[in-house]
Amino acid sequence: LAKTTQPISMDSYEGQEVNITCSHNNIATNDYITWYQQFPSQGPRFIIQGYKTKVTNEVASLFIPADRKSSTLSLPRVSLSDTAVYYCLVGDIRVGGATNKLIFGTGTLLAVQP
Amino acid sequence: GAVVSQHPSWVICKSGTSVKIECRSLDFQATTMFWYRQFPKQSLMLMATSNEGSKATYEQGVEKDKFLINHASLTLSTLTVTSAHPEDSSFYICSARQAGSYEQYFGPGTRLTVT
């Protein structure tokens, strides 16, 4: 399983764009990159997933360079309610894939201030 | 859609007793369920993977005789912490995945406190 490295914490202010970068130098060909959000005493919530280039949904964008050794989660115009821990996970989560399970790293605690 | 529930949401038990935590997929059939444990200010640690109708696969270092996992139906998996001790106090989270899908849906978690 590809190990991921993220900043332990980040600070931001309301209305700013936040970019959280994750390093995964040993990512394998069949690995996908998935980001989850977790609030205290709650289960993780899926944010976004991608394989390469750029993926965008209603809450975030995910940028993946050509070498796929890193990825950046971009949260546009954060609010106080975006204060949470954000996890980057890498693995072959295709049906029947080699990983078939999610291994969580340390995550990034994003603190949004007014 | 894709809701996973856990029961109870919190439980307090005495040392030496056993406690069962249920994980249910409410609107889909979960062929695979996962159990995680999370200590304060730490990340989620995968404990085991269970497939409906078969024995669970435990991660290294997780005692299968202490953490009994049963996945008897496509909508229910249970985790029983046997002979609980204070060090078993933690936040237990389950997740579920349906056949043919790669996405995991997480439950809200169960806070276990052993006194």
In chain A, residues with a C-beta closer than 8 Å to the C-beta of B106 are 36, 43-45
Amino acid A102: pLDDT:
79
Q: Which residue did the predictor score with more confidence, A97 or B103?
A: B103
Nearest CA in chain B to A93: B102
Choose among B23, B24, B33: nearest CA to B99. B33
Q: Which residues pair with B104 in a beta bridge?
A: none
Q: Do the strands B67-73 and B57-58 form a parallel or antiparallel pair, or are they unpaired?
A: unpaired
Give the span between the Cα atoms of A80 and B39, in whole angstroms. 24
The predicted model gives A36-59 an average pLDDT of 94
Amino acid A98: pLDDT:
46
User: How far lies A7's CA from each of A102, A108, B95, in Å?
Assistant: 19, 6, 25
Q: Residue B83: is its pLDDT beyond 60?
A: yes
Give the span between the Cα atoms of A31 and B88, in whole angstroms. 33
Q: Of A7-21, A90-104, B36-50, B56-70, which range is least confident?
A: A90-104
CA distance A92 to chain B (A): 9
- Euclidean distance between the first and the last CA atom of chain A, given in angstroms as a whole number: 38
Three-class DSSP category at B19: strand
Pairwise CB contact (< 8 Å): A45 & B106: yes
